[in-house]
Homo-oligomer: A and B are copies of this chain.
Amino acid sequence: MDKILHQPLGGNEMPRFGGIATMLRLPHLQSAEGLDAYNMATGAAPFDSMSVADIGDVAINTFNLLDAVRIIEEAYDEILEHNVIPMTMGGDHTITLPILRAIHKKHGKVGLVHIDAHADVNDHMFGEKIAHGTTFRRAVEEGLLDCDRVVQIGLRAQGYTAEDFNWSRKQGFRVVQAEECWHKSLAPLMAEVREKVGGGPVYLSFDIDGIDPAWAPGTGTPEIGGLTTIQAMEIIRGCQGLDLIGCDLVEVSPPYDTTGNTSLLGANLLYEMLCVLPGVARR
């Protein structure tokens, strides 16, 4: 039986301010036909190639972080039974840990492309082992990552010690501080990244605060001197050809997003991720 190729609700079928609010205006339960969406820059035709849908929100426990982490892990265990590539919108960066745990059960150790202003490798925060700033230290300790195939891009901000980013380097990560990205295209960097993280399954985790506050003000810990939106697009487009088995876009915080443009940016970056998933046709 043919798989159903869901299509985003077209702007000429329903005005853009109308219709159900879903990820990429995709159907929740209904199928739609006769519409394609193309990435005009890369020619990618994602909705022509795969069956994409919004499967709703995970009902977390908002009062207990550890329980929320448990709920997310169980939800992704269930999701991954269906052999899908999960694309997740956060939520703070804590959510990547339970997702990586579920991913590990299915795919084993994975490579990682991690865009962020912060390394998120603290040992603890206020005494807690699980928090949005400890995600990738826990992931390493739990053996979820293939450390030689990990890249962190966009790191900056003040640190508590001069060695803050060195923990990452000691694990074998390639750390690309923001200063290394200033004033240039990241297309050449991505050639190096593909070389580094290729050869196995890769997870893409994009913290919106990797991008400079001019483009992404709506986040909890903005840091100056960050990536441009164009560089963000170059990073994601530069992931084409990798064996992406999941991705997320985290730390968009609507109350701080006074113009709504951070949400718009997040939605667009998710669309760009969709366009580089394995199996997407290019016209």
Q: Tell me the smallest distance from the CB of A156 to a CB of chain B, in Å.
A: 6
- Of all chain B residues, which has the CB nearest A184? B183
Which of A38-46, A99-107, A138-146, A194-202 contacts its partner? Answer: A38-46
User: Contact: A261 with B217, CB < 8 Å?
Assistant: yes
Q: Tell me the smallest distance from the CB of A281 to a CB of chain B, in Å.
A: 10
Which of A22, A28, A218, A261 has the largest number of chain B CB atoms within 10 A?
A261
Q: What are the residues of chain B within 8 A of A57 when measuring CB–CB?
A: 14, 18-19
Interface residues of A in 117-136 (CB under 8 A from B): 122, 125-128, 130-131
User: Contact: B128 with A64, CB < 8 Å?
Assistant: yes
The verdict on A148 contacting chain B, using a C-beta distance below 8 Å, is no
Q: How far is the CA of A57 from the CA of B20 in the complex (A)?
A: 8
Which of A13, A258, A269 has the largest number of chain B CB atoms within 10 A?
A258
Q: How far is the CA of A213 from the CA of B257 in the complex (A)?
A: 13
- Of all chain B residues, which has the CB nearest A40? B159
Number of copies: 6
- Of all chain B residues, which has the CB nearest A18? B57
Interface size on A, residues (CB 8 A): 84
A38-B160, A41-B179, A63-B131 given; name 20 further pairs at CB < 8 Å. A15-B60, A15-B62, A18-B57, A20-B20, A28-B28, A35-B160, A36-B161, A37-B159, A37-B160, A40-B157, A40-B158, A40-B159, A61-B126, A63-B130, A183-B184, A213-B264, A224-B269, A225-B230, A225-B233, A255-B255
The verdict on A167 contacting chain B, using a C-beta distance below 8 Å, is no
Q: How far is the CA of A29 from the CA of B20 in the complex (A)?
A: 12
User: Contact: B264 with A222, CB < 8 Å?
Assistant: yes
Q: Tell me the smallest distance from the CB of A41 to a CB of chain B, in Å.
A: 5
